[in-house]
Structure 1
């Protein structure tokens, strides 16, 4: 298990119970996003996910999330197209929401999470930034969801 997997896993455990969306009964967005970012995922971890998004025409957005400055927005439809309908359907099923709702939630969370995981303006070679920052950021995002 790599450093990124460890950080994401620890953040997921730390947020279990509070990261369940609305009053503990909503989707487990921590687990869903963790699955996308895990080094063992089909996307190939953070770096693989970013390459996939860039290859699908979202390069400017991805670079804004990784770089310094304001994050460019991405729509749920753009993410769905970039990640593929099958993956988005799986994520929606995991969350127990519609395909459109899954895309909408991810379009709000991914830019912020990627921004937080790349504090120096580049994808870390061996993992992510501080666990405390990541856990706090995920918890804050999930309270808004």
Structure 2
């Protein structure tokens, strides 16, 4: 089972009210970034303070995004933060770390076109969700759907 399949499966189980699935996770990631003191700039600082500045810089830059492990993400964000977000999402901390590790690089990448952080560090929900439409579509594909 691929990471996307795992993520899609977890999302399906974590939204009993029939929530927006991947779009909800992306929106939650954006909300999380925007809620940081300093927005994306504050999150970048947290990554740098925890030895992962090169990873987040790759997401902002115009080159390839470096992956982040759930453990590294948990270290950067802190177990209290991960636990609170997991509780809000209705999943375990490990599941949430895995989901964010899969989604956050793409969210930050799409929110920083041309390698530039938005002026006040706040990410535009509608713009990022629109640019990630293809990514969200991957989560919703069934095994029988072979269209690109």
Q: Structure 1 length as normaliser, TM-score? A: 0.72
Pick from 50, 56, 71: which aligns with 1:56?
50
Assess if the C-alpha contact under 8 Å between 1:118 and 1:128 holds in 2. no
Counterpart in 2 of 1:6? none
Q: Closer, same or farther in 2 for the Cα pair 1:117/1:128, shift >3 Å?
A: farther
Give the drift of 1:55: 1.2
Counterpart in 2 of 1:111? 105
Q: Closer, same or farther in 2 for the Cα pair 1:72/1:82, shift >3 Å?
A: same
Pick from 28, 32, 40: which aligns with 1:36?
32
Could you give the per-residue CA deviations for residues 49-69 of structure 1, whole angstroms, max 9, x where no partner exists? 111112111111111100011
Gaps of 5+ in 2: 1-10, 141-148
Pick from 92, 100, 108: which aligns with 2:86?
92
Supply the distance in 1 between the matched residues of 2:81 and 2:110 (Cα, whole angstroms): 24
Supply the distance in 2 between the matched residues of 1:59 and 1:97 (Cα, whole angstroms): 27
Could you give the per-residue CA deviations for residues 80-105 of structure 1, whole angstroms, max 9, x where no partner exists? 01110000000110111111100000
Assess if the C-alpha contact under 8 Å between 2:58 and 2:66 holds in 1. yes
Larger radius of gyration between Structure 1 and Structure 2: 2
Counterpart in 1 of 2:41? 47
Gaps of 5+ in 1: 1-20
Assess if the C-alpha contact under 8 Å between 2:41 and 2:117 holds in 1. yes
Aligned residues: 123
Counterpart in 1 of 2:67? 73
Indicate yes or no: 2:77 matched with 1:83.
Answer: yes
Q: Structure 2 length as normaliser, TM-score? A: 0.70
Q: Closer, same or farther in 2 for the Cα pair 1:126/1:82, shift >3 Å?
A: closer
